[in-house]
């Protein structure tokens, strides 16, 4: 990146063009181009591969949760993944004051399941999930 600071160049209306001002403007443009080019070519951690996200999402309905008991439902994150995807799950249902609902994703490499537990009895708890993996672009 250039070390030269950008200099303000002001062209007043009606005054003749000053070659020094034009040179400063040209230097500013060159520095801007060099800075942009350096940033464009720089990547995090000298990354040499391009990646795109592969995503799938869905939801499960836990029809009945018993207080303080773990309920399990299997889910299929999809067949588009070549490895083990990252999965995030979240509760999307109304629940009572002082009620706590815990959601976990387990067994991603074999039989994926979403676990849900509530501090109170609850019905029809909707849990939404998103699975994601980065895929190398060749």
Query: Does 119 lie in the same domain as 97?
Result: yes
Q: Spell out the alpha helix ranges (H) of 14-102.
A: 19-41
Counted domains in the chain: 2
Query: Does 69 lie in the same domain as 24?
Result: no
Q: Could you tell me which of 110, 108, 114 has the C-alpha nearest to residue 132?
A: 108
Is the pTM higher than 0.85? The answer reads no
pLDDT band, residue 1 (cuts 50/70/90): very low
Residue 55 CB-half CA count within 13 A: 7
Query: Does 129 lie in the same domain as 63?
Result: yes
Q: Spell out the alpha helix ranges (H) of 1-138.
A: 19-41
Cα separation, 7 vs 120, whole angstroms? 66
The CATH number for 91's domain is: 2.60.40.2080
C-alpha angle 120-63-90 in degrees, rounded to nearest 5: 70
Mean local confidence (pLDDT), 106-127: 90
pLDDT score at 67: 92
Query: Does 116 lie in the same domain as 59?
Result: yes
pLDDT score at 60: 93
The tens digit of pLDDT for each residue in 48-103 reads 677 788 899 999 999 999 999 999 999 888 887 888 888 999 998 887 778 888 99
pLDDT band, residue 45 (cuts 50/70/90): low
Cα separation, 18 vs 11, whole angstroms? 9
Residue 131 has pLDDT above 50, yes or no: yes
């Amino acid at each position: 990146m250039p070390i030269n600071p950008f200099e303000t160049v002001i062209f007043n209306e009606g005054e003749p063009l000053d070659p020094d001002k034009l040179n400063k403007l040209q230097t500013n443009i060159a520095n801007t181009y060099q800075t942009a080019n350096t940033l464009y070519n720089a990547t995090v951690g000298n990354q040499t591969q391009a990646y795109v996200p592969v995503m799938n999402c869905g939801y499960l309905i836990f029809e009945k949760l018993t207080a303080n008991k773990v309920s399990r439902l299997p889910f299929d994150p999809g067949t588009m993944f070549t490895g083990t995807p990252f999965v995030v799950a979240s509760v999307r249902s109304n629940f009572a004051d002082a009620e706590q609902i815990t959601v976990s994703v387990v067994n991603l490499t074999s039989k994926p399941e979403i676990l849900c537990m509530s501090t109170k009895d609850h019905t029809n708890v909707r849990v939404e999930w998103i699975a994601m993996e980065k895929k190398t672009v060749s």
